[in-house]
Chain A
Amino acid sequence: MADPTPTAPPPATHDAGEPIAEHRSRMRVTIDTVLRNRLAVIGLVVLALLVLAAIFGPTIAPYDINDINIADRLQGLSSSHWFGTDELGRDVFSRVLVGARVSLTVGFIAVGIAVVIGVPIGLVSGFYGGATDSWLMRLMDILFSLPAILLAIAILAVLGPGIVNAMIAIGIVYTPIFARITRGSVLTVKESVFVRAARSLGATDTRILRSHILPNVVAPIIVQTSLSLAFAILAEAALSFLGLGVQPPEPAWGRMLSEGRGFFQQAPWMAIFPGLAIVITVMAFNFVGDGLRDALDPQQRSVIESRGVG
């Protein structure tokens, strides 16, 4: 790695050698850092279990989720009904297990929508600046200024309740977060010398955005994605709780919570277990998100993560 001329080798070797020691692929470093974080590992394990539950829930559940058995209604915890039964005698454990599918699906698709709309808005806004930036960001500010759950309810009021519309609503609500985070990073990256160098080599705007700027702003976006998943799941639970999300008899944690509320005196397990499921899922996503942030983006601590639900 040394310069070819005999005068230079000592400084050159030193120069070139040092970075190599620290260099492994960025992916590798990220994974190692995350795996050293105990909470992040716990979060990952929980998420893996949840994904399994979401995929295989209906097949491994001990009871059919819509199996009504009035004789066994409001049964407490037992070896045959681990989480008890609800007011129609349905097995709460089976319903919580299957409910993972709704929560995760809604979470991923809603955040997916937010990323797909928000990131390009942020890229264009940050890169071109000027009037484009003003208009797009004002639009995002308007969305951002409304309380999340209120905005979601308003959107659902227009689109009508239902799981698909809930995903769209949550997606729209979280779009400004991604637009802002992306824009902020683009503003920094676009001033880099390498962007000017790429332009001086004849690259088009599209090319500069796609192959030079985007790869340099993914870290904060990934971090925000994992944190937003937690909020999206919480939002879905809230919407379902209000009867605007998943419609019965489909089991969703928020909906089960709302149904269990009426029986809290006689059968607290009806509400406690879906509630616990929500808490555990949200915490798992937050742990993973924090771990990713420490690994990818140490400076970006506690940016817009305050935007909870309602």
Chain B
Amino acid sequence: MTGPVLKVDDLSVSFGTRTGRAMVVNDVSYEIGASETLAIVGESGSGKSVSSLALLQLLPVPPARVAGRAEFGGGDLLSMPDPEIRAVRGNRIAMIFQDPMTSLNPVRTIGYQLMEPLRMHMGMDKAAARARSIELLELVGIPSADERMDDYPQQFSGGMRQRVMIAMGISCEPDLLIADEATTALDVTTQAQIIEEIKQLQDRMGLALIWITHDLGVVAGIADRVVVLYGGAIMEEAAIDLLFDDPRHPYTRALLESLPVPGMDRPRRLQAIPGLPPDPVHLPAGCPFAPRCAYAQDICTSERPALTFPLEGHGVACHFDPEVFDG
């Protein structure tokens, strides 16, 4: 690994709303290397999608306000002028969205939509773009790709459409692919297939992958490292095994306890986390998780804990050592 592909520093995103400024992402920093898979995990409203949209300047500014740095290919994604960021989008960083039913234009053929980025970024002519598109469809496992090029999105099932989206995403051989809940809308079988295919593509192309999801089960199957977001801030960051075996943040622990564990001898009651995620307009002054945290002390409500790395490669934003919680 020769330096990170993407290095995000203190990324903050806020939105002007009628009731005040909504702090949706707060000082998020992470990096990702080539061929690495970073999972960004969080519940709805934790800022996970917004933080990735912000990277490609896809948020409407205003009402959004974006601060921080995102180093990619020697430049800062967040401050690139329009033509430059456009040359990055779809070309060097591609995104796959959650809903495969609506992320394709219903009045254009699959072929047209696949050929579009190829013609925009690679300057291919129609014939070359078509040939390449057929290859891509075959690569993502769509049978009789040649004929299906002239079909419309509504002739494809959800899983097939997501495959088409992946084909579009990888068409220009990007360095980084951001999958925003890419398999959430699919049934479990299809989900497993798509994840398998993405992993194969990643191996083949040396792709860095950011996998945004709320589903820790999916994370376990795909990620190398995990960033846990809550209230727009990183609660914990660790390699996948570390996170599952030795979660150090109370939120991560609560999250894991709310999951069923297959193969457990005695079924246990799943633990829901009491309370609601914080309102981004009125974030708590201290730790965003404090109001719902079983171990919260006075300091938790008054002072925001910084993300520290007491162990190499395992970051936690909590005032306390996990031993406190076990005791």
- Is the Cβ of A201 less than 8 Å from the Cβ of B117? yes
B282 within 8 A of partner (CB):
no
Q: How far is the CB of B192 from chain A (nearest CB, A)?
A: 9
Q: Is A11 touching B155 in the complex (CB atoms < 8 A)?
A: no
Distance of A11 Cα from B99 Cα, bound (Å)? 18
- Give the interface residue-count category, chain B: 35 or more
How many angstroms between the C-alpha atoms of A1 and B156 in the bound complex? 9
Chain A count of residues within 8 A CB distance of the other chain = 33
Interface contact B143-A15, CB-CB below 8 Å: no
Do residues A203 and B120 form an inter-chain contact, with CB atoms below 8 A?
Answer: yes
Q: Say yes or no: is B86 at the interface (Cβ < 8 Å to chain A).
A: yes
Question: Could you say which of A4, A8, A194, A204 has the most chain B C-beta atoms within 10 Å of its C-beta?
Answer: A194
Contact among A19, A196, A197, A212 for B154, CB-based, below 8 A: A19
Contact A194 B105 (CB under 8 A): yes
B160 at the interface (CB under 8 A from A): yes
Please state if A201 and B168 are interface contacts (CB–CB under 8 Å): yes
B86 to chain A, nearest CB (A): 5
For residue A199, CB closer than 8 A to chain B, the reply is yes
User: Are the C-beta atoms of A193 and B99 separated by less than 8 Å?
Assistant: yes
Q: Whole-angstrom distance between the alpha carbons of A22 and B165 in the complex?
A: 23
B56 proximity list for chain A (CB < 8 A):
200
A136 to chain B, nearest CB (A): 19
Our count of residue pairs bridging A and B at CB distance below 8 angstroms stands at: 110
Q: Is A142 an interface residue (CB 8 A)?
A: no
A193 near B102 with CB under 8 A, answer yes
Q: Give chain A interface residues in 11-62, CB to chain B under 8 Å.
A: 11-12, 15-16, 19-20, 22-23, 26
> How long is the Cα–Cα vector from A218 to B189 in the complex, in angstroms?
38
B29 in the interface (beta carbon within 8 A): no
Contact A201 B116 (CB under 8 A): yes
Assess whether B154 is in contact with A12, with CB atoms less than 8 Å apart.
Answer: no
19 CB contacts below 8 A, A to B, read A3-B193, A8-B159, A8-B189, A8-B190, A11-B187, A11-B189, A12-B157, A12-B159, A15-B158, A15-B160, A16-B156, A16-B157, A23-B151, A194-B102, A196-B103, A198-B116, A202-B117, A202-B120, A216-B105
- B residues whose Cβ falls under 8 Å from a Cβ of A: 56, 58, 86-91, 94-95, 97-99, 102-108, 112, 116-117, 120-121, 141, 143, 151-152, 154-160, 165, 168, 187, 189-190, 193
Give 7 closest A-B pairs by Cβ, nearest first. Answer: A201-B90, A15-B157, A202-B90, A202-B89, A193-B102, A200-B95, A16-B157
